[in-house]
């Protein structure tokens, strides 16, 4: 893990069927959030969404793009973060880091009013919002999607709701994102998170099946691990000098912790000028005619905020 700034670190708590993961976004959070001029409240929530997408995306047992989407009728109407797995290693070098990107849509005036009223982070998405998890394995594979209502005050609360409703896996999680003010008025962003989950028994103590004669041990063990994780401070998740390995050992050293190879992460947006041209070529005849009447055709990528400018003759040359 040495030298990695942005990564997901898997670990296992010895003696229990409990796995965990620490995500640290020490430079990647800035790579995403500083591309946009979002209000701080929006950036904080999107930063946590990036952590959650990395956390869950790197847990997948197969290749596939993982998409986290939050939608609602509140001041923030949409948050999206997605994770694309790393390219496989070859004989010439290590894996390419997995890619993360994200964006938000919001109503500035409504957001200001909601913040003045003291709304919680999730309340900024409205009282009837939902969260969707989508796994896209490519055009020839069926998509998997899980959708749950947004419940609770924080994104961590909503994620726990998903695991309780859809996966029925005992889970506890903490997420954090915050700006770091530097000299000269500059700002950087940090984001991080930690999760532990029960797993099916493969040896050791099965937390889901109590040992004979000791029916309370399972709940006691899980409750203790849950309490330990919730003692994690935001500063530990956001401090680049506190590694994921150090954090896992701080929390669970009495049980013993085994860490595995970290998954490197980077900001990655696959948009290119040619991809945008291909997208324009697929528009309906009506949309094409309307855009051809304009002096220039401008397309902005929501994720990376890159603007692509075309003359109509170039944008619709094939048409």
- Contact (Cβ atoms closer than 8 angstroms) between residue 22 and residue 246: no
Residue 29 has pLDDT above 70, yes or no: yes
Average pLDDT over residues 223-230: 94
- CA angle, 149 as apex, 147 and 154 as ends, to 5°? 115
What local confidence, expressed as pLDDT, does residue 203 receive? 34
Sign of the alpha-carbon torsion through 174, 9, 233, 115: negative
The predicted pLDDT at position 18 comes to 94
Q: Is residue 295 part of a domain?
A: yes
Residue with the larger pLDDT of the pair 296 and 214: 296
Pair 90, 111 in one domain:
yes
Burial class (CB in 10 A: 0-12, 13-18, 19+), 244: buried
Residues 55 and 77 in one domain: yes
pLDDT value of position 207: 35
Query: Does 213 lie in the same domain as 157?
Result: yes
What does the buried/exposed string (b/e) look like for 67-88 if buried means 16 or more CB atoms within 10 Å of the residue's CB?
bbbbbbebbbbebbbbbbbbee
The model's pTM is: 0.87
Residues 283 and 224 in one domain: no
Contact 243, 1 (CB under 8 A): yes
Give, for 241, the enclosing helix (H) or strand (E). Answer: none
Are 310 and 254 members of one domain?
no
CB 48 within 8 A of CB 194: no
Both tokens of 212, joined, read 């004979």
- Residue 1: inside a domain, yes or no? no
Quote the distance between the C-alpha of residue 276 and its chain's center: 25
Domain shared by 148 and 194, yes or no: yes
By CB atoms closer than 10 A (0-12, 13-18, 19+), residue 214 is exposed
DSSP per-residue codes, 68-107: EEEE-SSSEEEEEEEEEPPPPPBTTB-PPPEEEEEEEEE-
In a domain, 231, yes or no: yes
For tokens 């948009």, name the residue: 271
* 136 inside domain: yes
Identify whether residues 180 and 247 lie together within a single domain.
yes
Same domain, 169 and 42: yes
- Domains contained in the chain, number: 2
Rounded Cα distance, 46 and 32, in Å: 9
Listing DSSP states for 99-119 in one string gives EEEEEEEE-HHHHHHHHHTT-
Give the model's pLDDT for residue 92. Answer: 45
Residues 224, 279 within the same domain: no
pLDDT tens digits, residue range 142-161? 778 889 999 999 999 999 98
Q: What is the pLDDT of residue 12?
A: 96
Spatial contact of 105 and 89, defined as CB atoms under 8 Å apart: no
277 lies in the same domain as 247: no
pLDDT at 2: 52
CATH classification at residue 173: 3.55.30.10
Provide the residue range defining the domain that includes 249. 6-267
The pair of three-digit structure tokens given for residue 238, joined into one six-digit string:
């956001």
Question: Pairing relation of β-strands 98-106 and 263-267?
Answer: parallel
Domain of 284, CATH number, reads 3.90.1280.10
Residues 159 and 294 in one domain: no
Q: Name the DSSP letter for residue 199.
A: -
Coil vs helix vs strand at 200: coil
Range scoring the smallest mean pLDDT among 77-86, 204-213, 253-262? 204-213
Burial of 108 (0-12, 13-18, 19+ CB in 10 A): exposed
CB 141 within 8 A of CB 135: no
Q: Is the pLDDT of residue 215 over 70?
A: no
Burial class (CB in 10 A: 0-12, 13-18, 19+), 252: buried
**Does 233 reside within a domain?**
yes
**160-211 per-position pLDDT tens digit:** 988 888 777 889 999 999 999 888 888 999 999 999 999 854 333 333 344 4
Residues 211-233, mean pLDDT to the nearest whole number? 77
Q: What is the pLDDT of residue 123?
A: 94
Return the closest-CA partner of residue 294 out of 306, 280, 282, 304: 280
Tens of pLDDT along 92-137? 445 678 999 999 999 999 999 999 999 999 999 998 899 999 998 7
What is the mean predicted confidence (pLDDT) over 284-292? 74
């Amino acid at each position: 893990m040495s030298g990695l700034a942005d990564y997901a670190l898997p670990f296992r708590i010895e003696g229990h069927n409990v796995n965990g993961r620490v995500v640290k976004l020490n430079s990647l959070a800035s790579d995403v959030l500083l591309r946009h001029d979002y209000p701080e409240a929006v950036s904080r929530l999107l930063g946590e969404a990036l952590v959650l997408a990395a956390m869950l995306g790197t847990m997948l047992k197969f290749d596939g793009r993982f998409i986290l989407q939050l939608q609602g009728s509140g001041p923030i109407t949409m948050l999206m973060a997605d994770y694309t797995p790393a390219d496989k290693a070859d004989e010439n070098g290590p894996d390419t880091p997995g890619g993360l990107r994200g964006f938000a849509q919001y109503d500035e005036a409504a957001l200001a009013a909601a913040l003045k009223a003291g709304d919680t982070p999730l309340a900024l998405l409205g009282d009837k919002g939902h969260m969707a998890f989508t796994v896209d394995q490519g055009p020839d594979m069926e998509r998997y999607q899980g959708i749950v209502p947004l419940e609770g005050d924080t994104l961590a609360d909503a994620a726990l709701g998903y695991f309780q409703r859809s996966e029925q896996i005992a889970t506890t999680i903490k997420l954090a994102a915050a700006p770091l003010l530097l000299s000269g008025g500059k700002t950087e962003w940090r984001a991080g998170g930690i999760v532990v989950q029960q797993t099916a028994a493969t040896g050791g103590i099965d937390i889901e099946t109590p040992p004979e004669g000791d029916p309370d041990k399972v709940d006691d063990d899980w409750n203790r691990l849950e309490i330990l994780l919730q003692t994690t401070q935001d500063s530990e998740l956001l401090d680049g000098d506190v590694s994921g390995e150090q954090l896992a050992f701080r929390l669970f050293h009495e049980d013993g912790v085994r860490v595995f190879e970290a998954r490197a992460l980077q900001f990655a947006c696959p948009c290119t000028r040619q991809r945008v041209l291909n997208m324009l070529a697929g528009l309906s005849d009506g949309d094409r005619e309307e855009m051809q009447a304009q002096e220039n055709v401008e397309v902005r990528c929501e994720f990376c905020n890159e603007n692509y400018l075309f003359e109509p003759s170039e944008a619709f040359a094939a048409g």
